[in-house]
Amino acid sequence: MTTRAWLLSDTPASRRQAIWGRRYQGWLALKRNPLAVAGLVIVLLMLAMAAAAPILATHDPGTQNLANRLQPPSAEHWFGTDELGRDVWSRVLFGGRLTLGMVVAVMALVAPVGLILGAVAGYAGGWLDRVLMRVTDVFLAFPRLILALAFVAAMKPGVESAVIAIALTAWPPYARLARAETLLVRNADYIAAVRLTGASGARIVLRHVLPMCLGSLVVRVTLDMSSIILTAAGLGFLGLGAQPPLPEWGTMIATGRRFILEQWWVPLVPGVAIFLVSLAFNLLGDGLRDVLDPKQR
């Protein structure tokens, strides 16, 4: 039978067929949602462009040309030049590497750690739950930027410090989320059934509880993207994040702010880039959440 028929078979005959069939059907479900597809396309496009920055850039992002500063978009400089005469298009491209890289790094740190901490707290209950939640509360009590500032100030300012600092402030909501989902799931009969196999607590949490938290997690991750970018921008603005002349998007907006009225391209282009990425992630996340719940297919 054709590959497509094999994947769509109603009665899979092996584990492999069932898993791949499920993935393919998930993909089809996602495709049916045009907004989610748009989001996916934009995300992939921007990631690809960031990766291919050296090829796509027309100029070196760091080269200054003070005689050429604040030029409007033209054939030579597609998005014009900024206050130091650097090509905005190239800076946005290379900045994509920085900004998207920072966001992905933060998520890779934060999501798994928050998820596991929250699920363990929710499932174990008792003193472990209380201790973990009080730790979470401490982190949640501070405004994100201020706490990030404190961490960065203690370390050397720069992109790595910014990533760690943001990660340290971004994990609490994921722990909370995972804990809330776990509390819902914990009393379900199917978890009781697994407990009755004599499985260890760790196994139950990892293999049975965590998969139920993934849906909300995905949505949360995508919603957080823009907030993290802005936190990074804030840090950059205060000189504690990406250090100039690095073309991080947030920093570019912060330094280009004052030109918004006359030379709008300087802050606007990185702003539109952030907007597009956030929107794309949100759309994608929404679509993914629907797909990840097998019941809704």
Q: Which residues bind other proteins (CB under 8 A)?
A: 10-15, 17-18, 21, 188-190, 192-199, 203, 208, 211-212, 293-295
Radius of gyration from C-alpha coordinates of the chain:
23
Q: What is the DSSP letter of 158?
A: S
Across-strand partners of 81?
87
Helices 249-256 and 88-124 pack at an angle, to 10 degrees, of 120
- Residue 41 vs 188, nearer CB to other proteins: 188
SS3 87: strand
Minimum CB distance to other proteins smaller for 36 or for 100: 36
Q: Compute the least distance from the CB of residue 193 to other proteins, in Å.
A: 6
Assigned token pair, 107: 């998520």
**Least distance between other proteins and beta carbon 125 (Å):** 13
Nearer to other proteins, 108 or 193 (CB): 193
CA-angle at 103, arms to 100 and 105, nearest 5°: 105
CA pair distance 109, 86, nearest whole angstrom: 33
Scan for tokens 């004599």, then name that residue. 198
Q: Give the nearest distance from C-beta 206 to other proteins in angstroms.
A: 13
Q: Which is nearer to other proteins, 131 or 192 (CB)?
A: 192
Query: Least distance (Å) from other proteins to the CB of residue 34?
Result: 17
Q: How does DSSP classify residue 209?
A: I
Q: Which is nearer to other proteins, 3 or 14 (CB)?
A: 14
Instruction: Find the shortest distance in angstroms from Cβ 185 to other proteins.
Output: 10
